[in-house]
Homo-oligomer: A and B are copies of this chain.
Amino acid sequence: MTDINAVSNTPNSYKWVGTRPVRHDGLEKVNGHARFAADLSLPRMLSGHVLRSPFAHARIISIDTKEAEAMPGVKAVITSADFPEPHRKDYVSLNLMARDKVFYEGQAVAAVAAGTKRQAKAAAEKIVVQYQELPHVLSIDEAMAEDAPLLHENLITKGVEPVPGKASNIPSRTLFERGDLDAGFKEADVVFEQEFTTKVVHQGYIEPHAVVADTSSDDRSVIWCSSQGHFMIRAKTAAMLGWEPSQLKVIPAEIGGGFGGKTTIYLEPLAAKLSQKAKRPVKIVMSRDEVFRATGPTPGTKLRIKLGAKKNGKIVAGKAWLAYENGAYPGIWGMLGAMCLFAPYDIPNFYVEAFEVVVNKPVNIAYRAPSAPMAAFATETVVDQIARELKLDPIELRLINAVEEGSRKPDGPKYGPIGFKETLEAIRNHPNYSIPLGPNQGRGIASGYWFNIGESSSATVHLTEDGTAIVVTGSPDIGGSRASMALMAAEELGIDVKLVQPRVADTDSIGFTDVTEGSRTTFATGMAVVGACRQLIDELRKRAAMMWEVDIDEVEWMDGNALHTVNKHAPLALAEITKSAKKTGGPLTTTHSLEARGAGAAFSTQMCDLEVDPETGAVTILRYTTAQDAGTAIHPGYVEGQFQGGVAQGIGWALNEEYVHNAEGVMENPGFLDYRIPVASDLPMIETIIVEVPNPKHPYGVRGVGEVGIVPPIPAVANAIHDATGLRMRRLPMSPMTILAGLNQKNGSA
């Protein structure tokens, strides 16, 4: 637990950091050897199935499980009665098994464990649930209406309810303001105010949720599942079971995509409880249909923003009203949107008010830079409009207003060294910026911000007899973090990265580690790895000093060798020290934990070239270029992969994706045929520019790279469509139908 921040950087002098070795888990991933949660079988294991609500909003009058319990192969049936009453703010537990009411189509009502999945399903159908249907609300407008049907009768959030003291569907409001708004708009030469709406979209991870739980009769359970954080699984599952976290051991399986969607639990407490009742292990695997209906997508929104600028391009005032859906329970999505909306620009006068709104849809959860893409859609579209109006280059306009070190974020804190301007300049200087466009083609520019976080991480490093370093962390590898951990360890220890074995250990075997979210892992867990390696180097120096019988102060560590500074002894390689570790005090192992602070803010600027087919409204992405500040790219290949992944998802969100609910609140497109995410043939190769403005709060200058890439694509596409067609798109998705309708309207032909 030594302090590792007080360390100087010498960028560009690294031997391993910045190289591109094949990821350590690559082969297993491509040859099918990697084991995901659904791959595990245990002797005597049962299959679980969850019975889900057919209604968007209904009271549960009664649940009769008798007939189901008597069905062939059934070993356990559970309902909310099997769990302790959750704390009234424990929305996760409340969401996972309906109690008095169901709040959305797909919410879990009961679950069955039986010998086979087929038996479990058949039995679930025999559970008799008496419902009393209730009126539901599906949109922000419906939910915020004064006479709206209420999801939660007692949801009174002081000061934000439409009628004071009366319950509403608005759990909270966030307000950020600065300067004098009226004076600001007075000063402005141009003012634009517009409204935007976005739809619910899913993270679209390929691996559905799956869990195996094995609960013993002394109320302990071992859980295998894929998630973005097995300590989170432990804590949340324990909360729903009414247990202490230490009663659970969670073993991380490989994860087939998360993107924020696996930062919470769905099946784990159900499987653990079924296993406890059945006294046998239980596996539950969601179908794709269940993933869509019952797990958390990212919110739909309604956003109104107003920006005023002077003729010279300086933005002097901004006002915003944001409403974010939360699904059936309160969330934090509006607040996050408010934090990000104006964050890239130094606006002297602003007023941002953001609302959370509950609706009868699945409870929303994180999706890559959650809430920021919708906010950027609004801001970056209006910024583009100002640039057009003022006949300024869109990058020039952004450079005039861009935040820099010392600028303040909308929520208060000052920025440290950031690379926003550098991303703008990188795009402007890129040859793609001056490629001529043809007819029906357009170019759009947009920028994005994400704050990134630090949080708790732990790492343990073991040196084996053969001179290998086993680097153990508690961070599931969702985007190449094994590679980045290995590279930092190789750099620290001065050994070949092939001699570093990065591993992800279970909740018993590694210190507490927070969820892999907020682009924190290479930053925070990386610092834990560096800390453990530096302790190890001190120990290696001590061992070398013992072997040489000299004072440790005479021993330095360089390039994987102990050096005797007074030159009496030849260098001792790490493997020589580990080989004789038994003689010098035993095994070489260190551990380091920290609560990481100082995650540097992330910025991305992106350029989209596209062509709109005027006959169909279909959009073809011609070229896509993204410049993002990585601080320092530990493994440039995976940094680029993160950039590209964010863009690909953002383009899908911009052009195609949306949850379609019918009037009864039933989702109508719960599958990848009808809910269309981009496939390889839909996109060009996304060109990447890694900007490196090191984050001084990390020993290698890392800032998170995983999320901000998804922030600019929606406005970049929208601005490009405008450039191509003159049509301003303010509703998602920008599907062919919508574009065609817009074109027809604009041309007076519809």
Task: Point out residues on A near B: beta carbons under 8 Å.
Answer: 1, 27-28, 31, 33, 39, 41-43, 214, 216-218, 235, 244-246, 249, 455-458, 460, 462, 464-466, 468, 470, 472, 499, 501, 503, 505-506, 508-513, 539, 581-591, 593-596
Contacting residues, chain B, for A466 (C-beta < 8 A): 244-246
Contacting residues, chain B, for A41 (C-beta < 8 A): 41-43
CB of A512 within 8 A of CB of B464, answer yes
CA distance A539 to B588 in the complex (A): 21
Contacting residues, chain B, for A39 (C-beta < 8 A): 43
CA distance A172 to B455 in the complex (A): 60
Instruction: Using A244-B468, A539-B1 as known contacts, say yes or no to A501 and B508 having CB atoms under 8 A apart.
Output: yes
Q: Which B residue sits closest to A595, measured CB to CB?
A: B586
CB of B509 within 8 A of CB of A587, answer no
* Best-buried of A27, A28, A43, A593 by chain B (most CB within 10 Å): A593
Contacting residues, chain B, for A470 (C-beta < 8 A): 246, 508
CB of B590 within 8 A of CB of A595, answer no
CA distance A440 to B466 in the complex (A): 61
CB of A216 within 8 A of CB of B33, answer yes
CA distance A505 to B460 in the complex (A): 13
CB of B585 within 8 A of CB of A594, answer yes
Task: Supply 6 A–B pairs (Cβ within 8 Å), ascending by A.
Answer: A28-B218, A31-B216, A31-B217, A41-B42, A462-B508, A586-B595
Contacting residues, chain B, for A457 (C-beta < 8 A): 586-587
Q: Assuming A31-B216, A456-B587, what are 10 further A-B pairs, CB within 8 angstroms?
A: A1-B586, A28-B218, A31-B217, A235-B465, A456-B586, A505-B508, A509-B509, A581-B595, A585-B593, A591-B591
CB of B512 within 8 A of CB of A587, answer yes
In the A-B complex, the 3 residue pairs with the closest CB atoms:
A511-B589, A586-B595, A246-B468
Contacting residues, chain B, for A218 (C-beta < 8 A): 27-28
CB of B582 within 8 A of CB of A587, answer no
CA distance A100 to B214 in the complex (A): 47
A78 to chain B, nearest CB (A): 20
CB of B513 within 8 A of CB of A509, answer no
Contacting residues, chain B, for A216 (C-beta < 8 A): 27-28, 31, 33
A29 to chain B, nearest CB (A): 11
CA distance A588 to B594 in the complex (A): 9
CA distance A506 to B246 in the complex (A): 19
CA distance A33 to B456 in the complex (A): 33
A307 to chain B, nearest CB (A): 38
CB of B506 within 8 A of CB of A509, answer yes
Contacting residues, chain B, for A513 (C-beta < 8 A): 587
Contacting residues, chain B, for A591 (C-beta < 8 A): 460, 589-591
CB of A508 within 8 A of CB of B472, answer yes
A217 to chain B, nearest CB (A): 6
A84 to chain B, nearest CB (A): 16
CB of B593 within 8 A of CB of A586, answer yes
CA distance A217 to B25 in the complex (A): 12
CB of B458 within 8 A of CB of A33, answer no
CB of B593 within 8 A of CB of A589, answer yes
Contacting residues, chain B, for A593 (C-beta < 8 A): 585-589
Q: Which B residue sits closest to A588, measured CB to CB?
A: B593
CB of A587 within 8 A of CB of B458, answer yes
Contacting residues, chain B, for A588 (C-beta < 8 A): 511-512, 593
CB of B511 within 8 A of CB of A217, answer no
CA distance A235 to B468 in the complex (A): 13
CB of A458 within 8 A of CB of B589, answer yes
Contacting residues, chain B, for A460 (C-beta < 8 A): 460, 509, 511, 591
Contacting residues, chain B, for A512 (C-beta < 8 A): 462, 464-465, 581, 586-589
CA distance A27 to B501 in the complex (A): 36
CA distance A472 to B42 in the complex (A): 24
* Best-buried of A456, A457, A512 by chain B (most CB within 10 Å): A512
CA distance A457 to B587 in the complex (A): 7
CB of A586 within 8 A of CB of B594, answer yes
Q: Which B residue sits closest to A234, measured CB to CB?
A: B464
CA distance A586 to B216 in the complex (A): 31
Q: Which B residue sits closest to A542, measured CB to CB?
A: B1
User: Which of the residues B1, B462, B594 comes within 8 Å of A511, measured between beta carbons?
Assistant: B462
CB of B33 within 8 A of CB of A501, answer no
CA distance A217 to B27 in the complex (A): 8
CB of A465 within 8 A of CB of B245, answer yes
A341 to chain B, nearest CB (A): 28
Q: Which B residue sits closest to A501, measured CB to CB?
A: B246
Contacting residues, chain B, for A583 (C-beta < 8 A): 595
Contacting residues, chain B, for A217 (C-beta < 8 A): 27, 31, 33
CA distance A501 to B248 in the complex (A): 11
CA distance A33 to B215 in the complex (A): 9
CA distance A587 to B505 in the complex (A): 15
A498 to chain B, nearest CB (A): 10
CB of B595 within 8 A of CB of A585, answer yes
Contacting residues, chain B, for A235 (C-beta < 8 A): 465
CA distance A520 to B214 in the complex (A): 32
A244 to chain B, nearest CB (A): 4
CA distance A216 to B501 in the complex (A): 15
A560 to chain B, nearest CB (A): 16
* Best-buried of A460, A505, A585 by chain B (most CB within 10 Å): A460
Contacting residues, chain B, for A589 (C-beta < 8 A): 458, 510-512, 591, 593
CA distance A448 to B689 in the complex (A): 75
Contacting residues, chain B, for A510 (C-beta < 8 A): 462, 509, 589
A640 to chain B, nearest CB (A): 24
CA distance A18 to B456 in the complex (A): 37
Contacting residues, chain B, for A456 (C-beta < 8 A): 581-582, 586-587
Contacting residues, chain B, for A465 (C-beta < 8 A): 235, 245, 512
Q: Which B residue sits closest to A238, measured CB to CB?
A: B466
Contacting residues, chain B, for A582 (C-beta < 8 A): 455-456, 595
CA distance A91 to B468 in the complex (A): 25
Contacting residues, chain B, for A42 (C-beta < 8 A): 41
Contacting residues, chain B, for A249 (C-beta < 8 A): 503
A366 to chain B, nearest CB (A): 19
Instruction: Using A41-B42, A218-B27, A470-B246 as known contacts, say yes or no to A503 and B511 having CB atoms under 8 A apart.
Output: no
A733 to chain B, nearest CB (A): 39
CA distance A43 to B466 in the complex (A): 32
CA distance A470 to B231 in the complex (A): 14
A496 to chain B, nearest CB (A): 12
A526 to chain B, nearest CB (A): 14
Contacting residues, chain B, for A28 (C-beta < 8 A): 216, 218
